[in-house]
Amino acid sequence: MSDKPESRLKEWGGFLLIILLIAAVAVAYRHSGRRGPVAPPVEIQSSYASPREAAFTEIAHYEALWKAHPDHSPIALHLGNLYAGLGEHSKALNYYRAYLVLDTSAAAWEVNLDVAKTLFLMGERDSAATLLVELERLHPNHPGVLYNLGAVAANRGDAATARERWSAVIEGAPNSREANDARLGLSKLAGK
């Protein structure tokens, strides 16, 4: 290769011309109708796992950690969340309950909101409602509790109770995620 700029330009121009000719031939061949037999589709592999595959890989890792450290509450909580994300509610429920036994800190009770949601998704709506009513007694005006009570009521067809709970969320915590969800819920109720 020459160090002169004109020589480099000519070499790159020649290379570009070859690429363009190959592309033109490929396009012409494709449109000529003389294709060979069509191969069956082959799955293209990627360098990353699907979200579901990644979750199973992560679960395997955390299950091993849980076996080694069955008294470590954050592992139980993380496993509960992973299983909940996959829709494996009974496994999620077991880990949430293990977490609640292990972690007696002041904020740990909020995992009961996950327990209530999981129970609801498992079809145990009465158990979910009973738990939420107890949580409301212990933590009145908590936005998550009020929102979930409204959601349970809405799903049961009790629009009046849903409106009452969701309005309380919006009034008590207007800038919260729960308030935003309550506003959406109220607009759905208004549309019915």
For all residues of the chain together, what is the average pLDDT?
84
- Between 1.25.40.10, 1.10.10.60, 1.10.645.10, 3.40.50.720, what CATH number should domain 53-104 receive? 1.25.40.10
According to the model, what pLDDT value does residue 55 have? 82
**Are 107 and 99 in contact, with CB atoms under 8 Å apart?**
no
Total-model pTM: 0.70
- The mean pLDDT value for 61-80 works out to 95
* Stronger pLDDT, 47 or 57, i.e. the higher one: 57
Is residue 11 over pLDDT 60?
yes
CA 173 to each of CA 5, 112, 135, 167, 169: distance values in angstroms, whole numbers, following the listed order:
68, 20, 17, 10, 6
- Between 3.30.70.2470, 3.30.365.10, 1.25.40.10, 1.20.950.20, what CATH number should domain 110-192 receive? 1.25.40.10
How far is the first Cα of the chain from the last one, in angstroms, to the nearest whole number? 76
DSSP state of 109: G
pLDDT band at 37 (very low <50, low <70, confident <90, very high): very low
Is residue 3 over pLDDT 70?
no
Domain boundaries, the chain: 53-104, 110-192
Could you tell me which of 34, 110, 28 has the C-alpha nearest to residue 77? 110
Give the span between the Cα atoms of 46 and 20, in whole angstroms: 29
